[in-house]
Structure 1
Amino acid sequence: MITRETIDKVFETARVEEVIGDFVQLKRAGSNYKGLSPFSEERTPSFMVSPVKQIWKDFSTGKGGSSVTFLMEHEHFTYPEAIRYLANKYNIEIEETEVSQEDKIEANERESMYLVSEFAKSYFHDTLLQSEEGKAIGLTYFKERGFTSETIAKFGLGYSPETWDAFTKEALSKGYQLDYLEKVGLTIVREDGKHFDRFKGRVMFPIQSLSGRNLGFGGRILTNDKKAAKYLNSPESDIYHKSKVLYGIFHAKQAIAKQNNCYLVEGYTDVIQMHQAGIENVVASSGTALTPDQIRLINRLTKNITVLFDGDAAGLRASIRGIDLILEEGMNVKVCTFPDGDDPDSFARKNSYEDVIQYLENNAKDFIQFKASMLMDEAKNDPIKKADLIRDMVVSISKIPDRIKREVYIQECSRIMEISEQVLLNTLAQLIQKDISEANKKLKSSDNSEQKAFEVVKNEPQFTQEKVNIVFELERKIIEILLLYGNYEEQFEDVILKANDEGEVTEVVEKVDYKVFQRIYLSLQEDEIELANPLFRDIYNDLIEKYNQEEFNREHYFQQLSPEFAQTVTDILMQEEKEVLHNWETKHIYVKQKEQTIGQYVTETIISLREYLINKLIMDLMQSFTPDIPEEVLEEIKTSINDYNKLKVVLTNNIGRIRSTYY
């Protein structure tokens, strides 16, 4: 159990912009930061981080919260795991207790799978370094590859013994359940109940998530068994989806963001050797062809990818198909090939850091130049092949979503291939139109498949206007005011009834100083109004209680939002920050800030809520009219309606006097 003091220290130390910056490339936007959503597919930023409020908001999905809720959403951490992650990041001492057998049973399935995977990582690493078999076979192999002890420890490299069930036996003896060993793919269970290790006799490469959680493994066999695959990956599971994972991303993420470039290689050892050579912004596609999800993972950290290919040209043409996928995501891509017989692993091992960097800088080509240089040899003097090559290049250009970039590349292609720019533009237009037509056909086909032949379908309006819930919006405004301005002291107008010298009662307007939260609380108490929305009501009561404490720390409150409040509170707090995404100031449009007229904003919101509730009471009374209603009851209802209408006039006059531009 983590102590409250430790949790408080973590919250006081952790900076939301630093925590999220490890996963998302953030750029300054006024006093905030913005970036691409890590929860959805997008090319324009809708993700906002507020260092002042220490919260974040993803406008594309509606998610939001503190640094802890980000880790819980993005990495699927539990609350304690998020606290431990932050404590480790900021070198805060935290008491770790060993997971008991009872805890393992109670843990949910996903967490149990993570526990098993982490145990396996430790077991394989310890076996590599401490067992005679591990040192003689596994460690010798890694040393022959040139990996240092520091590198082996950094990447958690390991060894799985040649024995059929060495790992499974050890895991079961430690209390881990066979069911979870099977689900993460570490143990294979036969129909007769017998089980054996999937990675028997292999050196092990742990595969980690962006945050460092162990998801699965890659295992390389060291014998010449032709029946066994050279490399074997963990199967798909609830925690490991190889199409969404990049090998080395945990160790590379900071260097990628700092260098604003990512080197993409093919194998585990390519990544490790490049890291050891000092080039840390490098990842591999984890034993699968490059996928859109993997590209988007890089896109969160940088817009620039440099693909590194082996010197062996075999299969190169098939490999460069991934370039089109990168272009489709709106990213900038370069390609670099190594000399014949070399790959990133061997080249980095043979050359110094300076030489590798210089080679990459000198030989990285724009994708259009690379395609031209690679395919021109095939075309040579064959005009048909040359035409196919040009079309192939234009197809790649058509994948680029940005029109300006497309035109620039068309100009470059025209220059390299010595062909009319207009011809290329016409071809490009045809390709784009073809894509649009095919997309429309698919859309119509999917729509028509649900309709019967010759069925007459009534035309329905495409969009229906959603009815605004006025009470919800007004109550939301009250929570917003409390969150943003609750401790502000403002001058408010109070209407007081006083008798003059002649004994006549008149209204007198007096100006009184209140704290905003006090004014709201007193106003709602006066009218005996309770917020209708249950969540708003809970947040309101919590805030009033906090404000009544002598030292209410607003930033501390934002940081430690409870999970049930986090979503709603960040929705409200970050709504205004959404305007920053539009960069209105660059268009010479300036948004007025509510701080300039908080008193008006508060009074207007309260009166608007009162007015709405009175209208609702009047409507309810009017609906009670029936033909058989007794005369005395009818007169009583009419009197009530008349009184409410008089009150409405008073409220309307008040709103007219203090009406601002915000509602």
Structure 2
Amino acid sequence: MITRETIDKVFETARVEEVIGDFVQLKRAGSNYKGLSPFSDERSPSFMVSPVKQIWKDFSSGKGGSVVTFLMEHEHFTYPEAIRYLAKKYNIEIEETEVSIEDKVEANEKESMYLVSEFAKSYFQDILLNSEEGKAVGLTYFKERGFTTDTIAKFGLGYSPETWDAFTKEALSKGYQLNYLEKVGLTIVREDGKHFDRFKGRVMFPIQSLSGRNLGFGGRILTNDKKAAKYLNSPESEIYYKSKVLYGIFHAKQAIAKQNNCYLVEGYTDVIQMHQAGIENVVASSGTALTPDQIRLINRLTKNITVLFDGDAAGLRASIRGIDLILEEGMNVKVCTFPDGDDPDSFARKNSYDDLVHYLENNAKDFIQFKASLLMNEAQNDPIKKADLIRDMVVSISKIPDRIKREVYIQECSRIMDISEQVLQNTLAQLVQKDIAEAGKKLKNQEASISNSNSLEIVKNDTQVSPDSVNIIYELERKIIEMLLLYGSLEADFEDYILKSNDEGEMIEEKEVKKVKVFERIYLSLQEDEVELANPFFKDIYNDLIDYYNQNESFNIEHYLMKLTPEHSQLVTDILMSEEKELLHNWEVKHIYVKTKTQNVSQYVSETIVSLREYLINKLIMDMMNSFDKENENSLEELMSTINDYNKLKVNLTNKIGRIRSTYL
């Protein structure tokens, strides 16, 4: 197990904005950062990172927490995996206590699959570099492709021996279980129990996640065996989903964000050769058709994609479908083709970095220009084919969510194809209307399905309490937790009114200002009224925070979140980041200035406590009225007297904070 000292050091060193910046393109928003949610499909930012508080909040999905919880949510790491990842990133040496064999056996299945995959990567690398067969066959092939030693090491390239079960034997001898070797697709197990290596006699390309975890492999055969596939990929597993992975994304992510553009190619060697040439913002779909999930993966880093293709006409025609998918995600797409006989791999090999950059910049076409030039060759002078081409282009334009962009592309299409804008606009309107109708129909069917499945629940819950009466106390208690989290250890000046005797012997109220910590003020105020929070989550956190402040001089959010359950951690993060949500709206740009609570902490605390007292008084009055015995006249007089006393108390409370407050019930 990782020692507590190592964990504390990781939390003290890791910066949430730096770690999340490896996965999400962040832009500064005041003292915070914002970006597109990595957990949902969105086109305007709702993801906030607070360097001061060292936490993050995704307002679209509701997720939030510390730097460790981000890695656990985004990369599906276990807690120890997240700590190890951060330790590696910040060069922190991990100190561990002795791990028993029983603990290893109890490791969850997913983690075991990751461990097997990492072992395979190391094994294939070792065979490539240190065995006679690996050097003679695999290393020779990579050198012939022009890959340097550094490039081979960077991408973890390897070789699987031309032996039926060389890898499986080695893995089993190291204690890895056969069922995990089978689950990640490295070993094929027959019905009779015999097993053999899936990637026998192939050069190996490890496929990594955005965080660098090894998910699977691509293997290329080097013989002319017509019965065997040239390229073979790992089958899908609990850790490897082809539609959600892009080859090279781990090595490209920082360059993509920095260059604000992503080059998309088709194969492993295209990516590697471009990297070696100095173009690092490049990824590949690994031979599979481009998927929405892969596009969204890029969308988290940049809004711009440049698709690189060789001159193969069939491949170019098929690529158009991928372009439409990119447009649907609201991204900007360009296309660059290479001269006949060249692909990204061969072109990068033959040209210097400057020549390569120059070619890409000068030959990248807007998708409308690309589509027109590609399809016009097919249509030529055939008016029917030209009409189909124009409609095809308008279909692509209809995929663009932004209306202004659609308008601009319609104008461009009109100019290129020499056809009136009005005709194109009418065609576009029909297509958009059709898409809206289909989406509406789909939504209606989903709602009907949900309604039918929940019909019994609706009947059961028809006597629920009015949400208004629940939300008031919820919001007030939430504010109390918020104040404890944000300002609990802060000292502020609070006003109190003390009864004193004047020179005439009369009792008068005299204002007295005391400097106390916020948590003490809240605790004493609630104790004075004998108030306990109603919400069980808030009650647990309240008690926990009061204990924390009584034992610690200052509040460390990272350490505090570490000790909470996932449910409590989620709630705390949500509260801590609620104020940052206002920054997403850019109110200042609209000349609307949101007043922050820090401008007068003591007043904010006092008003919240008074509001809670008012609410409880009003509730008490309502309860008394509802339980009143109408037949008893004495009871009525007593009730009116009590209510009058409570109303005087409410007036006294509101006068103390200098304003009259409206009642809640």
TM-score, normalised on structure 1? Answer: 0.92
Deviation for aligned residue 1:143: 1.4
C-alpha contact 2:124 2:157 (8 A) present in aligned 1: yes
Matches within 5 A, 1:38-77: 38-77=38-77
Change (3 A) 1:83 1:600: same
Change (3 A) 1:193 1:349: same
Change (3 A) 1:585 1:348: same
C-alpha contact 1:480 1:573 (8 A) present in aligned 2: yes
Which stretch of the first structure deviates more once superposed, 35-44 or 89-98?
89-98
Q: Choose which of 576, 580, 604 in structure 2 pairs with 1:573.
A: 576
Q: Give per-residue Cα distances to partners, 1:436-477, cap 9 Å, x unaligned.
A: 12223334455668999xxxxx9xx9xx98444322221110
- Give the distance between the partners of 2:512 and 2:554, measured in 1 at CA: 29
Counterpart in 1 of 2:613? 610
Q: Which one-letter code corresponds to 1:613 in the other structure?
A: L
Matches within 5 A, 1:107-122: 107-122=107-122
Equivalent pairs counted in the alignment come to: 650
Q: Give per-residue Cα distances to partners, 1:157-210, cap 9 Å, x unaligned.
A: 111222222222222222222222221111222222222222122111111000
Q: Choose which of 514, 531, 534 in structure 1 pairs with 2:533.
A: 531
Secondary structure at the counterpart of residue 393 of structure 1:
helix
Q: Give per-residue Cα distances to partners, 1:632-653, cap 9 Å, x unaligned.
A: xx97898588546523531343
1:511 to 2:498 alignment: no
Counterpart in 2 of 1:212? 212
Deviation for aligned residue 1:275: 0.7
Deviation for aligned residue 1:27: 0.8
Counterpart in 2 of 1:127? 127
Change (3 A) 1:423 1:662: farther
Which stretch of the first structure deviates more once superposed, 594-603 or 495-504?
495-504
Counterpart in 1 of 2:485? 483
Deviation for aligned residue 1:5: 2.8
Q: Which one-letter code corresponds to 2:8 in the other structure?
A: D
Counterpart in 1 of 2:420? 420
Counterpart in 1 of 2:314? 314
Q: Which one-letter code corresponds to 2:496 in the other structure?
A: D
C-alpha contact 2:334 2:366 (8 A) present in aligned 1: yes
Matches within 5 A, 1:611-626: 611-624=614-627
Deviation for aligned residue 1:282: 0.4
Which stretch of the first structure deviates more once superposed, 141-150 or 443-452?
443-452
Deviation for aligned residue 1:68: 1.2
Counterpart in 2 of 1:551? 553
Sequence identity (%): 81
Secondary structure at the counterpart of residue 315 of structure 1:
helix
Change (3 A) 1:561 1:65: farther
- Give the distance between the partners of 2:610 and 2:161, measured in 1 at CA: 75
Secondary structure at the counterpart of residue 513 of structure 1:
strand
- Give the distance between the partners of 1:606 and 1:451, measured in 2 at CA: 41
Counterpart in 2 of 1:540? 542
Secondary structure at the counterpart of residue 314 of structure 1:
helix
Counterpart in 2 of 1:368? 368
Q: Give per-residue Cα distances to partners, 1:92-113, cap 9 Å, x unaligned.
A: 2223679754233111111111
1:469 to 2:507 alignment: no
Counterpart in 2 of 1:646? 645
1:31 to 2:34 alignment: no
- Give the distance between the partners of 1:192 and 1:607, measured in 2 at CA: 76
Counterpart in 1 of 2:455? none
C-alpha contact 2:57 2:573 (8 A) present in aligned 1: yes
Q: Which one-letter code corresponds to 1:340 in the other structure?
A: D
Change (3 A) 1:499 1:393: same
C-alpha contact 1:210 1:253 (8 A) present in aligned 2: yes
C-alpha contact 2:561 2:569 (8 A) present in aligned 1: no
- For structure 2, the 5+ residue unaligned runs are 453-457
C-alpha contact 1:601 1:660 (8 A) present in aligned 2: no
C-alpha contact 1:327 1:400 (8 A) present in aligned 2: yes
Deviation for aligned residue 1:480: 0.7
Change (3 A) 1:477 1:353: same
- Give the distance between the partners of 2:125 and 2:661, measured in 1 at CA: 61
Which stretch of the first structure deviates more once superposed, 466-475 or 546-555?
546-555
1:588 to 2:591 alignment: yes
Change (3 A) 1:535 1:443: closer
Q: Give per-residue Cα distances to partners, 1:52-73, cap 9 Å, x unaligned.
A: 2111110001111111111111
Deviation for aligned residue 1:309: 0.4
Counterpart in 1 of 2:359? 359
Counterpart in 1 of 2:6? 6
Counterpart in 2 of 1:455? none
Q: Which one-letter code corresponds to 2:582 in the other structure?
A: E
Matches within 5 A, 1:16-415: 16-95=16-95, 101-415=101-415
Deviation for aligned residue 1:597: 2.6
